[in-house]
């Protein structure tokens, strides 16, 4: 998950963002930890363009409201990564 996110960082690839959101929607078995890097991957992929940035912020807000505990822990870091040079 981390390698995939780094490979597509800054591309704005909507299909990869949807794929990462799909990973976040799955219920994990005990001991699996791939949803945190998927949340950070959404931010890494979508930070290149303004429209993708807005879409990612909205998706992260939904994950913060409706996601599981391990997802909610990664959302503030992802929001910080999205707005690192453009505070909102």
Domain ranges of the chain: 2-82
pTM attached to this predicted model = 0.88
Is the Cβ–Cβ distance between 43 and 81 less than 8 Å? yes
pLDDT in 10s for each residue of the chain, 88 residues: 889 999 999 898 999 999 999 998 888 777 677 889 999 999 999 988 889 899 999 999 999 999 888 899 999 999 999 988 777 6
């Amino acid at each position: 998950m981390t390698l995939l996110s780094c490979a597509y960082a800054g591309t704005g690839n909507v299909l990869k963002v949807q794929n990462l959101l799909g990973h976040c929607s799955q219920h994990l078995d005990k001991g699996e930890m791939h949803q945190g890097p998927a949340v950070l991957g959404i931010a890494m992929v979508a930070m290149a363009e303004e429209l993708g940035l807005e879409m990612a912020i909205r998706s992260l807000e939904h994950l913060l409201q409706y996601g599981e505990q391990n997802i909610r822990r990664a959302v503030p870091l992802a929001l910080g990564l999205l707005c690192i040079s453009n505070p909102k």
